[in-house]
Structure 1
Amino acid sequence: MQAITQDAYGPPQDVMVLRDVPRPVPGERDVLVRVHATPVSGTDWHLARGLPYVARPITGWRRPKTRIPGYDLAGTVVETGTAVTTLRPGDQVYGWAAGTFAEYTSVPEKQLVPVPTTLTLEQAAAVPIAAFTALQAVRDGAGLRPAGTGDSPSAAGDTGRRVLITGASGGVGTYAVQFAKASGAHVTGMCRTSKMDLVAGLGADEVVDYTTTPLRDLGRRFDVLINLYGNPSLADCARVLLPGGTIVYVGGTGGRWFMGVDRWLRGMALAPLRRLRTRPVIHTDSRDDLVTITGMIESGAVRPVLDRTFPLARAAEAIRYVTAGEVRGQAVLRCAD
């Protein structure tokens, strides 16, 4: 089979190579999936370069521990292990796994669920990890309860809460807008000019162009700030939050060692002095959450936003496209037909 391989750290165009590699053999509780599509994100760019350095005990000190990149997928089951009971060959599935930049990958049965009937495989590939992260930021970080996740918005008292989401047009942001709106909150999304129509179309009550109105100049306050992959100062966050408000940190940018996590830590230490709460969110892969998200997609409450599809051989180009900042929602690689 063909797969993108990486044997060293560096810019994706220098270290990601398309090669023929052996097809994996599933274990007794695994299934072999023919990968139709897998998403690309800014995380792929960071990991290709071995960043942040603090993560290298997990990702690999001198070279990637996992030779084939990629972490979520949609595809078709072609073979099952002897102990697999819920899936069979021919099933269309999506979920998360290691090594998805490939035509085939072996995946534990518990990490896959059936593809929503309303989605293509390419659309489905844009769901798992981005949607986990957004749901957990909104539900667990912000304390909101989107309808369809087990608690009604009115019961949770979310109706009327004012939520500001930065990075609202990205892979995680487009889901966060929809989950926050499904909770009954008043949602304001921040993005660049060219993507304001997208965020409005996802249900945001208000959209702010950060290129003309930065966070510190908004001039109004919110109950919750969901800060996606940015590093505003605590002072700027405080300017847009009501007393007792919550900052939800997801990802970050910054130095090679910590990629902004150090700013989270400073914010967590100092926020109480400003009568604010902080909630850092590092997503947890969850089959239960994916089942919940599937139901919300099939009900029409949530939809993935798919920008472009690239062939597997152009993985590095796809990653460059995403990190250039022009992507609306997500881009995916088409690995196999």
Structure 2
Amino acid sequence: MTSATPTVRPIIPTTMRALVQRRYGTSDVLADEMRPVPTPRRGEVLVRVEAMSPDAGTIHLLAGRPLMVRPAVGWRTPRQRVPGLALAGQVVAIGEEVTTIAVGDHVAGSGAGALAEYAVAPARKLALAPSAVSMTDAASIPISAVTALQAVRDVARVEAGQRVLVIGAGGGVGAFAAQYAALAGADVTAVVSARKSDFVRSLGVERLIDYARESDPSRWGTFDVVIDTADGRPLHVLRRALTRRGTLVIVGADGVGGPVFEGFDRQLFRVPLANMVASQRIASVMQKETGDDVARVLGQVAEGSIASAVTEVVPFADARAALDRLAAKQVAGKLVLTLGR
């Protein structure tokens, strides 16, 4: 008679390494500290973070900008002391009522406090990572790729044969948006800096516009869909690149405008007003953090129909410098931080 092999539970330490912010600012406000390992609550899991990918939202929340977000995230000091959302790693503990994920699973998704060795995340925001997808690639997906997928599929509703312009295709969301538009069968043109043009071509986009050489949207051509991930210009200027019944999709704000809204007034006020008078359709994207869409992108990366867009893999020890480069828009595609042990 043989006995069943007992399940080996991972040993979870009581403390972990994390980057902690107690005030708003740039990367210099981050302190490398030891913190208590969090405990998953009902519906949550504890992930041993192997990789995480910062994005524009990470930079915005680090600075506490725009000011309109302060009531939600902390007016004088941040309520969430460890920044970062997009992560990939191994589940080491689960909370009550979690049935779709087990200890030992490798997952990717959104979990507050990803700039640490351990983070808790709602199970509904996670997806199992296929073995064919590395943790580095998986970490690039939960925010940027899912935002791009939803912008192309749900908001722009891109169809085969349409002419699509992606502004900022050299960035994280833009790189995925260009790929998803092409996957839908669209004819894609990218507005990109010369420094990032080779990267965008590597994604399969051949028609590029260097915005430094040609900054007037009316000279870019006429498109059925324009997806703006980086420009920040007034809506009436961007509409010059649209057909009469075209669609303009706004993703993010890029820090333009005053400190209260920093460009988000386009989504909050100007988009609804423009839709009252314009023949074109104008919409903005608010990402829905769903494990289903994370799983969809992971599957597409595994099969090779979508590239992860990772261009830089940086050790956790160099996180501050990496965040500075991201804030300065010096990163093509996605930058990923790894947490080695």
Rounded Cα–Cα distance in structure 2 between residues aligned with 1:238 and 1:24: 47
In structure 1, the partner of 2:118 is: 104
Q: Could you tell me which amino acid in structure 2 is paired with residue 212 of structure 1?
A: R
Rounded Cα–Cα distance in structure 1 between residues aligned with 2:152 and 2:49: 30
| SS state at 2:50 partner | strand
Q: Could you tell me which amino acid in structure 1 is paired with residue 22 of structure 2?
A: D
Structure-2 change in CA distance of 1:262 and 1:109 (3 Å): closer
Selected match of 1:94 from 108, 121, 128: 108
Q: Could you tell me which amino acid in structure 1 is paired with residue 246 of structure 2?
A: G
Structure-2 change in CA distance of 1:105 and 1:336 (3 Å): farther
- Deviation of the 1:160 alpha carbon: 1.3
Taking only the aligned residue pairs, the percentage that are identical comes to 37
Selected match of 2:135 from 117, 121, 132: 121
TM-score, normalising length from structure 2?
A: 0.90
In structure 1, the partner of 2:12 is: none
Rounded Cα–Cα distance in structure 1 between residues aligned with 2:125 and 2:265: 31
- Deviation of the 1:187 alpha carbon: 0.6
Whether 1:263 aligns to 2:266 is yes
- Deviation of the 1:292 alpha carbon: 1.7
Selected match of 1:39 from 50, 53, 75: 53
Deviations 1:49-104 (A, max 9, x none): 11011111111111111111011100011222353323223221111111111001
| SS state at 1:21 partner | strand
- Deviation of the 1:109 alpha carbon: 2.2
Whether 1:7 aligns to 2:22 is yes
Selected match of 1:142 from 144, 153, 156: 156
Rounded Cα–Cα distance in structure 2 between residues aligned with 1:243 and 1:217: 13
Please list, as runs of the form range in 1=range in 2, the aligned pairs for 1:275-290 lying within 5 A after superposition. Answer: 275-290=279-294
Rounded Cα–Cα distance in structure 1 between residues aligned with 2:304 and 2:77: 42
Structure-2 change in CA distance of 1:105 and 1:267 (3 Å): closer
Deviations 1:4-56 (A, max 9, x none): 1111112221x111100111122243222110111112322221111011111
- Deviation of the 1:262 alpha carbon: 1.6
Rounded Cα–Cα distance in structure 2 between residues aligned with 1:49 and 1:238: 31
Structure-2 change in CA distance of 1:219 and 1:5 (3 Å): closer
Structure-2 change in CA distance of 1:242 and 1:272 (3 Å): farther
- Deviation of the 1:205 alpha carbon: 4.3
Whether 1:177 aligns to 2:191 is no
| SS state at 1:36 partner | strand
| SS state at 1:220 partner | coil
- Deviation of the 1:182 alpha carbon: 0.8
Whether 1:292 aligns to 2:296 is yes
Q: Could you tell me which amino acid in structure 1 is paired with residue 306 of structure 2?
A: V
Provide structure 2 residue ranges, at least 5 long, that are not aligned to the other structure.
1-15
| Contact map agreement 2:81 2:113 (CA 8 A) in 1 | yes
Q: Could you tell me which amino acid in structure 2 is paired with residue 11 of structure 1?
A: T
| Contact map agreement 1:250 1:281 (CA 8 A) in 2 | yes
Whether 1:326 aligns to 2:340 is no
In structure 2, the partner of 1:242 is: 243
Aligned residues: 323
| Contact map agreement 1:116 1:124 (CA 8 A) in 2 | no
Structure-2 change in CA distance of 1:32 and 1:238 (3 Å): closer
Q: Could you tell me which amino acid in structure 2 is paired with residue 202 of structure 1?
A: L
Q: Could you tell me which amino acid in structure 2 is paired with residue 65 of structure 1?
A: R
Deviations 1:196-216 (A, max 9, x none): 122122122411111111243
TM-score, normalising length from structure 1?
A: 0.91
Structure-2 change in CA distance of 1:231 and 1:29 (3 Å): closer
Alignment root-mean-square deviation, CA: 1.7
Deviates more, 1:77-86 or 1:301-310: 77-86
Rounded Cα–Cα distance in structure 2 between residues aligned with 1:326 and 1:171: 12
Deviations 1:192-244 (A, max 9, x none): 01211221221224111111112435342001110103212233212211101
Structure-2 change in CA distance of 1:83 and 1:275 (3 Å): closer
- Deviation of the 1:266 alpha carbon: 2.2
| Contact map agreement 2:193 2:211 (CA 8 A) in 1 | yes
Please list, as runs of the form range in 1=range in 2, the aligned pairs for 1:41-56 lying within 5 A after superposition. Answer: 41-56=55-70
Structure-2 change in CA distance of 1:159 and 1:313 (3 Å): same
| SS state at 1:317 partner | helix
- Deviation of the 1:316 alpha carbon: 2.0
Structure-2 change in CA distance of 1:166 and 1:219 (3 Å): closer
Q: Could you tell me which amino acid in structure 1 is paired with residue 225 of structure 2?
A: V
Structure-2 change in CA distance of 1:90 and 1:235 (3 Å): same
In structure 1, the partner of 2:92 is: 78
| SS state at 2:209 partner | strand
| SS state at 2:337 partner | strand
Rounded Cα–Cα distance in structure 2 between residues aligned with 1:219 and 1:89: 51
Q: Could you tell me which amino acid in structure 2 is paired with residue 100 of structure 1?
A: A
Deviates more, 1:199-208 or 1:321-330: 199-208
